[in-house]
Chain A
Amino acid sequence: MTLDQVSNSSRSYIVKDIKKDPLMTKLIDMGLFPGKEIRLLFKAPFGDPIAIDVQGYTLSLRREEAALISIE
């Protein structure tokens, strides 16, 4: 599944893969690489963008950006 489908903020997921996209390297630069543990923190009104915890810091992502990240 991909990160944009997550609605449960009580469990963590592991980044499995990042889809090929011009934003791919940006996501990796920001620390979202395969093997990283992440957790949904909260969503903005209308469910977009979302905020995730990346082992100690908080990142915000638009839904379409979160859709590039497959998790398990």
Chain B
Amino acid sequence: MELLDLPGLYSIYPKSQDEEVVFQVLRQKDHRDHPDLVIVVMDATNLERNLFLATQILDLGIPTLLIANMIDLMDKDQVGVNLEKLSELLGGVPLVPFNARTGQDLALLKSVLLEVPLEVMPSPHTQEFMNLEEWNTGRQEEAALGEARYKRIRQILSFCQPLPRKRSVRHQKWDQILTHPVWGYLIFLSLLALIFQTIFAWSEVPMNLIDTVFLTLSQWTQATLPNGSLTDLISQGLIPGLGGVMIFIPQIALLFGFIFVLEETGYMARVVFITDRLMRPFGLNGRSIVPLISGVACAIPAVMATRTIDHWKERLITIMVVPLMSCSARLPVYTLLIALVVPDVSWGIFNLKGMVLMALYLVGFVAALFSALLFKWILKTKEKSFLVMELPDYKTPRWSNLGITMLEKCKVFVWEAGKVILAISVILWILASYGPGDQMASAIAKIPVPTESAQQADYQQQVKSVALEHSYIGIAGKWMEPAIQPLGYNWQIGISLITSFVAREVFVGSMATIYSVGETFESDQTLLERMSHQRNGLGKPVYTLASGISLMLFYAFAMQCMSTLAVVRRETKSWKWPLIQLVYMTALAYISALIAFNLLN
């Protein structure tokens, strides 16, 4: 038996893209996913509205099994619906009470599922769905049909539900606090701070571990396999590429873990509720806030988290601007450059270096909002934005589903984005390792080979540096120098801009290779020293406040993350949007870096 989980909906008439999918699957008998049996899971505490969809599906003429879920709450609220009577009034359709939270009676449900007759219950209303092709033109008629349906449901329920349900007031106090104009935002912001602290704290160890494992694996293959280009490809291209995919898993898993808990408890709907008004002027809605803020950790899970936005245009805008939020991969770049060019000045507790870092995060957020505004004007849509949304009761999350969600999200990322990331990192590795003709070999041959073994390490670093300079990427870096010179950069930075495409933090490593020093600049000051002594053709320092700020702005805005592009392609199902994103973000980066450099220089 194959079970297919369809997106949740309130009515069979589609109002968004995922509802359209359900509509097609259920209506077209020859659709490849058309089911033999539809299982409609209803909220037993709210039968009137849930029967709306259930009776529509019954009327479609597909064999149906109804499940009255959350039956424990129905008993608690003493709604007391006579389910046998209800089933009878609906034409004898099988109706099973259930409690998914405890899973009790699961065996009973399974046995019912096997025995349920795969035949259509006679429905007097099948007529409604005869010419559904025209439903789009007859909205007025659709509304009238909806009203008539509710009248019929009320009638049916009046026979089997003696007391209409009263609103339970048990959660109203929570709503008073969580949607409060002051407390509501304060609680939300503190929760966010806590979540990010936890994500950074908890993901550090596994991320370092993944890093070490792949580094060891790469060294091991290099040492074990016979020398040659294939070995180099595996140990320096393929394995680090794989590692570059896996390194994101801890952050993705944790972020989605937290989002799951916020969704399940019902809190997320309140966040949407209190932020909707603030986001609306920018072409976004309340549901955009979580992806935007998740972008501070990493744009990849953030783009994946936009799926909760059912309005396509608003979802697309959110996807387009999320990578402008300063993600954690930018942090090492900011740290290095701030240490290099920002003077050590303090006013009381405020330190200029810290202020610059904060300003970079702010500037990313502001750029995201204004780009959203721009897309709001450009993109056209017929879909109307709405926020008619249910605010669910507060519940404790089902912890057993937490692990499943985290695993599922990681799997999607590794399979879908992983393919592209792996391919591009292999290509970039080839471009960084090979050059045209024998330029690279002859340049390396010119470096004097040391006689003492103490200088061996230094020699190796020089070889690496010269090899990168004469590789295809090195040549490209020099070739693009005229284009980036107005921003205050030299060809060394050009090379790092290209290699950063694997991931932004690669900037630090590339700089270290180019200036042939060790990579750990925090413990080892050599990289900082070498960079600060760099002079341009006129004998002036390359890394000044002007070029440093220009470079930081470039990193803040430029789309230099192929993993994000891969995920955007997956989420939008086309290369069009990631390409637009690449172009507009690079343009934004170039222009703002150009302005900053010329203002400060």
Bound complex: CA A35 to CA B46 (Å): 17
Report B1-37 CB contacts with A as 1/0, cut-off 8 Å: 0000000001101010000000000000000000000
The distance in angstroms between the C-alpha atoms of A23 and B143, with both chains bound, is: 10
A26-B167 in contact given A34-B147, A49-B277 (Cβ < 8 Å): no
Task: State the CA gap A49–B384 with chains docked (Å).
Answer: 16
For B452, the chain A residues whose CB sits under 8 A away are none
| Complexed CA–CA distance, A5 and B175 (Å) | 21
Closest to A24 in B: B143
Residue of B45, B185, B390 with most partner-chain A CB within 10 A: B390
List, in ascending order, chain A residues with CB within 8 A of B185's CB: 45
- Within the assembled complex, what's the spacing in Å between the Cα atoms of A25 and B144? 9
Is there an interface contact between B139 and A41, defined as CB atoms closer than 8 Å? no
Central interface residue in A39, A44, A59, by most chain B CB within 10 Å: A44
Shortest C-beta distance, B55 to chain A (Å), equals 13
Contact B13 A29 (CB under 8 A): yes
Interface string of B134-178 (1 = CB under 8 A from A): 000001101100110010000000000000111100001001100
Do A49 and B387 contact each other (CB < 8 Å), given the known contacts A41-B172, A42-B176? Answer: yes
Chain B residues whose CB sits within 8 angstroms of the CB of A55 once the complex forms: 48, 164-165, 167
- A8→B142 CA distance, assembly (Å): 32
Residues on the B chain within 8 Å of A39, using CB: 167
Question: Provided the pairs A25-B11, A44-B273, A45-B181 are in contact, do residues A62 and B386 lie with their beta carbons within 8 angstroms?
Answer: yes
Contacts of B384 in A (CB 8 A): 22-23
**Within the complex, what minimum Cβ distance (angstroms) separates A26 from chain B?**
6
The one of B150, B180, B276, B386 in contact with A28, judged by C-beta atoms closer than 8 angstroms, is B150
Q: A42: which B residues are within 8 A, CB to CB? A: 175-176, 179
How many residue pairs between the two chains, A and B, have CB atoms under 8 Å in the bound complex? 110
Contact (A56, B46) CB under 8 Å given A33-B146, A33-B150, A41-B175: yes
Check A59 against B277 for contact (C-beta < 8 Å). no
Name A29-53 residues within 8 Å CB distance of B.
29-31, 33-34, 39, 41-42, 44-46, 48-49, 51, 53
Residues 452-469 of chain B, each 1 if its beta carbon lies under 8 Å from chain A, else 0: 000000000000000000
**CB of B269 within 8 Å of the partner chain:** yes
Q: Is the CB of B143 within 8 A of A28?
A: yes
Q: State in angstroms the CA–CA spacing of A72 and B384 once bound together.
A: 27
Residues of B within 8 A of A60 (CB): 269, 272-273, 387-391
* Closest partner residue, chain B, to A37 (CB atom): B164
Is residue A61 within 8 Å, beta carbon to beta carbon, of the partner chain? yes
Known: A44-B277, A58-B391, A59-B389. Is A24-B139 also a contact (CB below 8 A)?
Answer: yes
Distance (Å) between the CB of A65 and the closest chain B CB? 6
CA distance A22 to B147 in the complex (A): 16
Does the CB pair A29–B274 fall under 8 Å? no
Q: Give which listed residue, A44, A48, A61, contacts B388 with CB less than 8 A.
A: A61
- Inter-chain contacts of A62 with B (CB < 8 A): 276, 386-387
CB distance from B12 to the nearest CB of A (A): 9
**Interface residue B184 (Cβ < 8 Å from any Cβ of A):** yes
Contact A56 B165, beta carbon cutoff 8 Å: yes
Say if the beta carbon of B376 comes within 8 Å of chain A: no
- Asked if B277 contacts A61 (CB within 8 A), the reply is no
Contacts of A41 in B (CB 8 A): 172, 175
B99-132 interface mask toward A, CB cutoff 8 Å, 1 = contact, 0 = none?
0000000000000000000000000000000000
- C-alpha gap A23/B387 in the complex (Å): 10
CB distance from B73 to the nearest CB of A (A): 11
Instruction: State how many angstroms separate the Cβ of B102 from the closest Cβ of chain A.
Output: 22
For A46, the chain B residues whose CB sits under 8 A away are 181, 277
By beta carbon, the residue of chain B nearest A56 is B165
CB 8 Å contact bits of B536-578 with A (1 = contact, 0 = none) = 0000000000000000000000000000000000000000000
B521 in the interface, Cβ–Cβ < 8 Å?
no
Shortest B503–chain A CB gap in Å is 39
- Whether A48 lies near B389 (C-beta < 8 A) is no
Asked if B143 and A31 make an inter-chain contact with CB atoms under 8 angstroms apart, the answer reads no
Partner of B10, one of A18, A20, A29: A29
Q: Which residues of A sit under 8 angstroms from B391, Cβ to Cβ? A: 51, 58-60
A11 to B114, CA, bound (A): 49
Beyond A45-B184, A58-B391, A60-B388, whether A33 also contacts B147 by CB under 8 A is yes
- Is A27 among interface residues, defined by CB-CB distance under 8 A? yes
Which of chain B's residues have a CB closer than 8 A to the CB of A59?
Answer: 388-391
The reply to whether A27 and B276 form a contact with Cβ atoms under 8 Å apart is no
Q: Closest 10 A-B residue pairs measured CB to CB?
A: A29-B11, A45-B181, A28-B146, A58-B391, A56-B165, A31-B49, A29-B10, A33-B150, A48-B277, A62-B387
| Cβ contacts A to B, 7 pairs, < 8 Å | A20-B140, A48-B277, A51-B175, A55-B48, A55-B164, A55-B167, A57-B390
A residues touching B (Cβ–Cβ < 8 Å)?
18, 20, 22-31, 33-34, 39, 41-42, 44-46, 48-49, 51, 53-62, 65
Chain B residues close to A by CB (< 8 Å): 10-11, 13, 15, 45-46, 48-49, 52, 139-140, 142-143, 146-147, 150, 164-167, 172, 175-176, 179-181, 184-185, 269, 272-274, 276-277, 384, 386-393
